[in-house]
Amino acid sequence: MNRLQLPGRLTTAWLEAAARPVEVVVATRARDRIAASHSAWPQDGRGPADGLIDQGLPVHLVRATMLAHLAWLSEGTSGASPDSVDALTAALRTTFAPAVASTVDPVAEILQALSGNGQAYFDGKVLAANEALRLAGLRPFEPTSADIRAFTGTATMMVAAAALHAARLREVLVSALEGSGRAVLVAELSRSSELADAIERIEQVLLELPTFGAVGA
């Protein structure tokens, strides 16, 4: 199992790797900053809502989001507790993945599942989150109000999604440049609605690349 040291540079390769169990180590100095930041936040507030959620977002995107959020927490400025870091690192070592229903506040839904609420995947099967945690050998996380704030209203999933799209686009471009041709590249990009509007501009750029003159369409 590969090991990622945080804080550190979080690459698209790591976000892709998070689809499978990964070992993440948060440095002691970072944990000290996390603890100091957490103690500075008032500890009142409500916990995450109970209730089941429907499966929605792809597991690989949810796990990439977990890793991206962990990387942010490791900076020690969010007010989250060291226990929240431990909950994420422990979950990432297994195949556990929260079943996130939507993109409205996905990180908050991740926190719900880590707390044993809602639903989660374990070994590819969707279960009640508390059962998935048990099978993964994990204990439900009990967040403080500062933890809840640190897992609410963040843009971590968008960062993870953008990185995964960039990684996929890089793969497609490399494949095209190695000989698959311009038509294959455009067809692949067409499958992503987020990139569809850019295809016309990308086509124009490709026409100007000397490499494509050699490869041909």
- Give the separation between CA 26 and CA 142, rounded to whole angstroms: 20
Q: Is the pLDDT of residue 55 over 50?
A: no
Res. 162 pLDDT band, cuts 50 70 90: confident
Q: pLDDT tens digit string along 125-144?
A: 999 999 999 999 999 999 99
Model pLDDT, residue 169? 72
Helix axes 28-39, 82-92, angle to 10 degrees: 130
Q: pLDDT tens digit string along 93-129?
A: 999 999 998 778 899 999 999 999 999 999 999 999 9
- Give the separation between CA 62 and CA 60, rounded to whole angstroms: 6
Q: Is the pLDDT of residue 1 over 60?
A: yes
Note whether 12 and 166 are within 8 A (CB).
Answer: yes
Counting other chains too, the contacts that 169-177 makes at CB distance below 8 Å and 24 or more residues apart are 169/195, 170/12, 176/206, 176/215, 177/209, 177/211, 177/212, 177/215
Note whether 182 and 212 are within 8 A (CB).
Answer: yes
Q: Kindly report which listed range (3-17, 110-124, 184-198) carries the lowest average pLDDT score.
A: 184-198
Model pLDDT, residue 53? 41
Q: Is the pLDDT of residue 197 over 70?
A: no
Sheet holding 125-128, edge to edge: 97-98, 119-122, 125-128
Average pLDDT in the chain: 79
* Beta-carbon-side half-sphere exposure of residue 57 (alpha carbons within 13 Å): 26
Res. 181 pLDDT band, cuts 50 70 90: low
> For residue 91, how many other CB atoms are within 10 A of its CB?
26
- Give the separation between CA 56 and CA 78, rounded to whole angstroms: 27
CATH 1.10.3720.10 is held by the domain 3-162: no
Q: Where in the chain is the domain with CATH 1.10.275.10?
A: 3-162
